[in-house]
Amino acid sequence: MSFSLFSVALKNLKRKSFRTGILILSIGLLVSILVFGSSFILSVNVSIKRASERLGADLLVVPVGAADFAEEVLLETKAKTFYMDKSIIERVKNIEGIEKVTYQTYLTTIFGLCCDIPAAKVVAFNQDTDFIVKPWLKKAIGRKLKKNEAIAGYEAYENFDLLDVERSVLFNIEFDIVGVLEKTGTGLDNALLISDENMDEIISRSGVTVKPNQISLIFTKVKEGYDPYEVGRRVENEIIEVDVIARSDMGKNIISTLKDINNVFLITIILASLLSTFLAWTIFSAIVNERFREVGIMKAIGAKGSHIVTMFIIEVFVLGLLGSLVGIVLGTYMSLTLSKIFTLLRDVSATLTLLERVEIGLFGLLVGTGICVVGALSSIIRIKGLEPLTALKEV
């Protein structure tokens, strides 16, 4: 590389490698908090939004008081069971504005029961009326599930070690694992899906809590021209045993509990930014002060103000960029590893796309570098107009 202001700037940074390191590290920590926080907030919001959009139903009808459970089962990876009577299906169907309905029953395999996959989420669905699983099923095997057949959700397939097995025991019954669904971004990803023709046998052969003629949840589509909220209210009024969740409200409970976490992140980031700006300001003030003489010499041998500014700006940018890169790597690493530790993150199934990660990274880069620039600005302006060293004395 030929010699340039860039080389001078780098050498200046190297000279004070400890101080340079401290600044890089503190910018790095700030940016890592930023990247981790943004990844966290974004992945939770995005996955909940995606999941509710993909469910493909306008209204969910659930047993009274089970709305939170339902959201957790549908949008997250949790296994929860809650039941209501099957007869409610007909009553919902008869309400004005309802176009079609289907239902699902949620089961959890019992831990410790011989040969079963422990604590797996099993979704029994009705194949004649289903419009929720159908599109995914069609892509996966192109036909309906037969009795004693199961299909695994994208993540369940890996998590339950189904990779090499062709059959598995659920509720004391052998099931053929006939395939695996594509990633849906919903709670289906962590479930094993079976046809509800199996329900009678399951109830008779295992100790599950569900009774015959019980279901967990009803999905409905609303006729065109009807307001889903209006129809939902009608359902709740006429059937007191149920609660209704509209699609656009889905996930609201989960998101609102996240608001506090959001705010904690925000405050941390603001404080860390202020601290880093202050640190950058202090360090650059010191840098500039101790370099008066050198800058004076540079000016005396012909440097323009712009050369001096360029040199310092390069130093600032290199610091900012290195710090930000450290932060991006650290923050991304944290968000990838901590997502396995925090249940909240683990339960939200969607992971961020590369583009989303890149966007967050760029944002971190911008803030990290911006803070360095803002912190250094006054010092750079101060030294830009410095008189050339008159060489009259050795200061």
Choose, by CB under 8 A, the member of 2, 94, 256, 337 that binds another protein: 2
Closer residue to another protein in complex, CB, 194/319: 319
Q: Counting contacts by CB under 8 A, is residue 166 touching another protein?
A: no
Closer residue to another protein in complex, CB, 107/287: 287
Q: Counting contacts by CB under 8 A, is residue 390 touching another protein?
A: yes
The count of chain residues that interact with another protein, using the rule CB under 8 A, is 30
Of the candidates 206, 200, 211, the residue with the CA atom closest to the CA atom of residue 117: 206
- Sign of the dihedral defined by the CA atoms of residues 30, 34, 40, 43, in that order: negative
Closer residue to another protein in complex, CB, 14/340: 14
Considering only residues 272 to 301 of the shown chain, the ones binding another protein according to CB under 8 A are: 294, 297-301
Tell me the CB-side half-sphere exposure of residue 383, using CA atoms within 13 A: 28
Q: Counting contacts by CB under 8 A, is residue 340 touching another protein?
A: no
Closer residue to another protein in complex, CB, 301/355: 301
Closer residue to another protein in complex, CB, 201/294: 294
Residue 44 beta carbon to another protein: minimum distance, rounded to whole angstroms: 48
Q: Counting contacts by CB under 8 A, is residue 1 touching another protein?
A: no
Residue 312 beta carbon to another protein: minimum distance, rounded to whole angstroms: 14
Residue 315 beta carbon to another protein: minimum distance, rounded to whole angstroms: 12
Identify whether the C-beta of residue 76 lies closer than 8 Å to the C-beta of residue 254: yes
Q: Counting contacts by CB under 8 A, is residue 394 touching another protein?
A: yes
Residue 325 beta carbon to another protein: minimum distance, rounded to whole angstroms: 24
CA dihedral 250, 254, 255, 256 (to 10 degrees): 110
Closer residue to another protein in complex, CB, 370/388: 388
Binding mask 297-316 for another protein (x = CB under 8 A): xxxxxxxxxxx---------
Residue span binding another protein (CB under 8 A) among the ranges 232-240, 254-262, 324-332, 383-391? 383-391
Considering only residues 5 to 64 of the shown chain, the ones binding another protein according to CB under 8 A are: 5, 7-8, 11-12, 14-15
- Residues forming contacts to another protein in the complex (CB under 8 A) are 2-5, 7-8, 11-12, 14-15, 294, 297-307, 387-394
